[in-house]
Amino acid sequence: MYNKINRLISLLLAMLVIQACNTPAYAFNFKLPFFKKNKAKQETKVPENIEPAPIQPTDTNETPILDDSSEAPSYTSEIPAVNEEEYTDEENIVYIKQLEIFGNNMLETDYIKSLISSREGHIYDRGTITKDLNNLYATGYFTQNIRAVPIRLDDGNIRLRIVVEENIPITGFTVQGNNSVPSSNIYDILSELEGKPQNVVTINSAIERIQELYSSRGYILARVSEVSDDPDGIINVQISEGVIGNINVVGNHKTKDFIVKRNILSSPGEVYNENIMRSDIMRLMGTQAFKDVQRDIVMNEETGLYDITIDLDEQRTGKISLGVGVDSSSGFFGSVGFGENNFRGLGQKINLNVMAGTGILMNDNSVVRRANWQAELSFLEPHFKKENQSLGFRAFMRSFGSYQVPLAVEKRYGGDVTLARVFEKYPRLTGSISLGAEEVDLSEGDYTRIKNMFAAHGLSMSQRNKQLEGGFYLRAIPALVYDTRDNATNPRHGVVARISLEEALAVTGADSYGKLEGVVKKYIPAGRKSSFVVTARAGGTLHGDVPEFAMYNLGGPYTIRGFNISEVGMGDGYMLGTLEYRTPIPFIDRLTSNAFINNVRLAGFIDAGKVFNSSLTDDLYDRPGYAITAGVGLRIFIPGLGPVNLDYGFPLTNTHGSRSNGFFTFGMGDML
């Protein structure tokens, strides 16, 4: 009687266990999230309490097969279940002897096992298995119908069965709304999800990567606005790229609206691109009419478009300047000038500058010692007819001790008009042509000295007359400039190259001539803030007999440092190479945050060059015609003035005479 009652109780208990196994604890239908515009991605919520089923009786049958509904297998053994408490008793520790995974069709069993901490040979622990079930669900590949079924074996240990139910598989994708980024680039991100169960986690990750792809190309407003799934497993991705609605300009009181807007290449109806807008802001700042330019972006809830507001802070553009300075070619000088960078509110620039100096500083005895002066009037229309085209005018007068013709006074009067244009298809390339006229007048500065020098070399003064021959010239100078530098203040990478042709037609005086010159400068980053600068320059005569005042010269702050201006030599052709290393002053950024001081660079350099077909002056002064120098210097960027260079060069060749001890040079601007 007792055995019958015991057997009946066991049978009822087994039926209850089977019913519990066949009844899902959670009902969940997978549905991809609906992504609202500009909302954060939805996160997968993991139930707090997915727990393993009670221990089942000893399994004496073969491994059961799951039916189409992926329900837990049924167990028909009549062997009574053992009280689960005895499995956790310290004296009766139970181990997981076998670990099985059921219900997976697309995901590898080994992959699923790698996601859980329970292993064969581990102690059976309900808390650990509960965490494993929740970890599996958190992957996003499975529905909530995840169960753990522990089954008692004959030896008292456990066979643990993890029963999973995969989400429906992804069979493909459709992408809509993308015009700025090719569909192929987006499919490259999504394709790795095909053939796998739908997974909110991995789809959200793919969405982030798509938005990062857009952002990397400047489309920072682009968003995946909606994701939905079809019954056949197709995932539909809708993209909102961020189209511009209106562009408003505020803060300009003097500057005309159309002057501001012609500097803004972004336009309504286009997809917003931060790179283009940044260029627009830099272009506006480059007019020197504004102290600051800000942009504000607001989405219009009614239209779904983005309205852009350009906020301008105008500055005083008219200025009167007084200055003093020092330069190798002008000596100690003083200057006075007037400038207007926003003439009539049209963005035009007009400047008048007058400068007087003591003469070439630290010059050799080939330059007559006298004061020099110069005056220049210039006008620039930065948008002549087209937004990428400029027109400039210049008139000048100069009088100085010539550093081309020995012991002569050189005077020049003239003007030119320059038309420059940035090529639309190649925005890094600028072409220009300058047309002008110039009168060159040369006169004796020290007749006695030059007469004695010619006599000492057995030369006729008729040759001196040829040296002093100037004339009136009509000039045409077409040029191309290619510039990929990262910035103009302290560039660290990029290339700038220039090639120019000068055609000079002599109306009176010396012969007509033509010259061709080119320069390439490459910036190579070194470390965090330093850089190498490699420069190659060359020039030569194409036709005609180039007069001495127009010959190429080497020596001085813009060619070979460590020598006076023209001291290496002059000729109708030359080659020059420079290697320079620039680095900030060590630890200066830790001592001060002053932008001016932090822009100062230490420099070490090597210059090497040679002239061809040397001039008569080289014979008179025994100039070497070639040189190699090394030295150190400072690069100081002064706002509104540009880079100022202070260098000390030491000749490594031709070190006889005064050149043996090195030489200081002062220069303004880059060697281009």
pTM of the model: 0.62
Fold of 2-163: Ubiquitin-like (UB roll) (3.10.20)
Q: Which of 103-112, 426-435, 624-633 shows the lowest mean pLDDT across its residues?
A: 103-112
pLDDT tens column, 328-369: 666 677 888 888 888 877 878 899 999 888 776 656 678 888
Distance (Å, whole) CA 400 – CA 441: 11
| Confidence band of 657 (pLDDT split at 50, 70, 90) | low
143 pLDDT more than 80? no
> What is the average pLDDT across 76-105?
61
Q: Which of 51-60, 338-347, 538-547 shows the lowest mean pLDDT across its residues?
A: 51-60
230 pLDDT more than 60? yes
Confidence at residue 262, expressed as pLDDT on a 0 to 100 scale: 80
- Residue 212 DSSP label: H
**Cα separations (Å) of 471 from 401, 548, 573, 614, 624?**
18, 12, 22, 22, 29
Distance (Å, whole) CA 468 – CA 465: 5
**Residue 327, CA atoms < 13 Å, CB-side half-sphere:** 19
The identity of residue 605, as a single letter, is: F
Confidence at residue 51, expressed as pLDDT on a 0 to 100 scale: 55
30 pLDDT more than 70? no
Distance (Å, whole) CA 503 – CA 515: 7
Fold of 318-668: Porin (2.40.160)
Confidence at residue 66, expressed as pLDDT on a 0 to 100 scale: 27
> What is the average pLDDT across 58-85?
34
Confidence at residue 654, expressed as pLDDT on a 0 to 100 scale: 74
Q: Which of 5-19, 99-113, 115-129, 592-606 shows the lowest mean pLDDT across its residues?
A: 5-19
Question: What is the chain's Cα-based Rg?
Answer: 41
| Confidence band of 4 (pLDDT split at 50, 70, 90) | very low
Confidence at residue 653, expressed as pLDDT on a 0 to 100 scale: 87
Structure tokens at 576: 């020059």
Q: Which residue has the higher pLDDT, 670 or 459?
A: 459
Confidence at residue 91, expressed as pLDDT on a 0 to 100 scale: 56
> What is the average pLDDT across 634-643?
76
Cβ-proximal residues to 74 (8 Å cutoff; 6+ apart), any chain: 18, 21, 22, 64
**Cα separations (Å) of 450 from 375, 412, 663?**
29, 22, 26
Place of tokens 């003064």: 461
Confidence at residue 83, expressed as pLDDT on a 0 to 100 scale: 40
Residue intervals in the chain for CATH 3.10.20.310? 2-163, 172-240, 244-314
Q: Find the helix packing angle between 183-190 and 200-216, rounded to 10°.
A: 150
3-state secondary structure 575-615: EEEEEEEEEECCCHHHHCCCHHHHCCEEEEEEEEEEEEEEC
99 pLDDT more than 60? yes
20 pLDDT more than 60? no
CB 436 within 8 A of CB 475: yes
What sign does the dihedral 32-34-40-43 (CA atoms) show? negative
Q: 639, exposed or middle or buried, with CB in 10 Å at 0-12, 13-18, 19+?
A: exposed
Confidence at residue 32, expressed as pLDDT on a 0 to 100 scale: 37
Confidence at residue 192, expressed as pLDDT on a 0 to 100 scale: 87
Structure tokens at 401: 């001790």
| Confidence band of 198 (pLDDT split at 50, 70, 90) | confident
| Confidence band of 43 (pLDDT split at 50, 70, 90) | very low
**Class for the domain spanning 244-314:** alpha beta
User: Span 172-240: which CATH code?
Assistant: 3.10.20.310
154 pLDDT more than 90? no
Cβ-proximal residues to 230 (8 Å cutoff; 6+ apart), any chain: 236
Strands 318-327 and 530-544: unpaired
> Quick one: what percent of the chain has pLDDT higher than 90?
39
